[in-house]
């Protein structure tokens, strides 16, 4: 498959690609992984520049606290989270994970880590009820759920009905019985 036939599906074009595409010289890679093929490449470019860079992620909460990660930091942290998913969480390529988090930096790390590992991420809004969570866990056969302490009680109330659920990971400063803690593992 040549890149020019499917370019709208795979990537935005930059001007240097047009000539290669018109000559049918640029091909779509057989395997593409955003985390390794894009994020890690930008991380490498950033390392070679050895100067200040633009942030890859710049997050500010309602109180004005901010988190700023370079491409190198985002790459490194997402690799650590990928190891967490495949290690303590026992997830493998193709396994499903239900992620119910507000838009916090950990949400982005988990998205990139799932791309790295081939784990299927199922995002959920923080407005889900216990019944909604149970339905999604059963329908998706998710092996893991990741949420905050706000929804942990709702998850605990339905977890016994969800036979595929093996791991519960909480993104919180506090710990909870029968839950792995994201910060501790990171």
Domain regions of the chain by residue span:
34-181
pLDDT of residue 16: 56
Cβ-count burial of 81 within 10 angstroms (0-12 exposed, 13-18 middle, 19+ buried)? buried
Asked if pLDDT for residue 179 goes beyond 60, the answer is yes
Kindly compute the dihedral angle of the four CA atoms of residues 24, 42, 181, 89, in this order, to the nearest 10 degrees: 30
DSSP strand pairing (120-124 vs 66-69): unpaired
Closest CA to 144 of 162, 129, 132: 162
Classify residue 159 by its DSSP letter: G
Specify the pLDDT at position 122. Answer: 97
* pLDDT at residue 13 in the model: 47
Task: Encode pLDDT of 23-79 as tens digits.
Answer: 666 565 677 788 888 888 888 888 887 666 788 889 998 899 999 998 889 999 999
Give the pLDDT of residue 42.
Answer: 84
Q: How far does the chain reach from its first CA to its final CA, in angstroms?
A: 40
- Give the model confidence (pLDDT) of 108-167 as tens digits: 999 999 999 999 999 999 999 999 999 999 999 999 999 999 999 999 999 999 999 999
Which residue from 142, 101, 137, 138 is spatially nearest to 120, judged by alpha carbons? 142
The Cα diameter of the chain in Å comes to 60
Question: DSSP letter at 55?
Answer: -
Place of tokens 């791991």: 167
Q: Are 20 and 27 in contact (CB under 8 A)?
A: no
Query: How far is CA 46 from each of CA 5, 40, 57, 126, rounded to the nearest angstrom?
Result: 31, 10, 14, 35
pTM, two decimals, is 0.79
CATH class name, domain 34-181: alpha beta
Instruction: Kindly tell me if the per-residue pLDDT of 81 is higher than 90.
Output: yes
Q: Which long-range contacts (CB under 8 A, 24 or more apart) does 153-158 make?
A: 154/128, 154/129, 154/130, 155/130, 157/130, 158/130, 158/131, 158/133, 158/134
Q: What is the pLDDT, as a whole number, of residue 132?
A: 96
CA proximity to 89, closest of 144, 170, 133, 138: 144
Query: How is residue 94 written in tokens?
Result: 């193709």
pLDDT-based confidence at 17, cuts 50/70/90? low
- pLDDT band at residue 8 using 50, 70 and 90 as cut-offs: very low
């Amino acid at each position: 498959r040549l890149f020019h036939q499917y370019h709208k599906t795979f990537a935005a074009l930059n001007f240097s690609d047009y000539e290669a595409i018109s000559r049918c010289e640029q091909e779509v890679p057989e395997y593409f992984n955003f985390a390794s093929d894009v994020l890690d490449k930008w991380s490498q470019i950033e390392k070679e520049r050895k100067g200040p860079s633009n942030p890859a992620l710049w997050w500010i909460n309602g109180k004005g606290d901010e988190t700023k990660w370079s491409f190198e930091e985002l790459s490194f942290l997402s690799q650590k989270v990928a190891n967490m998913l495949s290690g303590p969480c026992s997830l493998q390529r193709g396994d499903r994970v239900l992620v119910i988090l507000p838009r916090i930096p950990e949400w982005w790390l988990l998205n990139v880590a799932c791309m790295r590992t081939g784990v299927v991420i199922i995002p959920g809004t923080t407005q889900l009820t216990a019944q909604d969570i149970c339905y999604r866990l059963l329908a998706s056969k998710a092996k893991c759920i990741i949420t905050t302490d706000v929804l942990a009680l709702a998850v605990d109330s339905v977890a016994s009905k969800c036979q595929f659920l093996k791991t519960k990971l909480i993104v919180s400063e506090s710990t909870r019985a029968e839950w792995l803690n994201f910060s501790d593992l990171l």
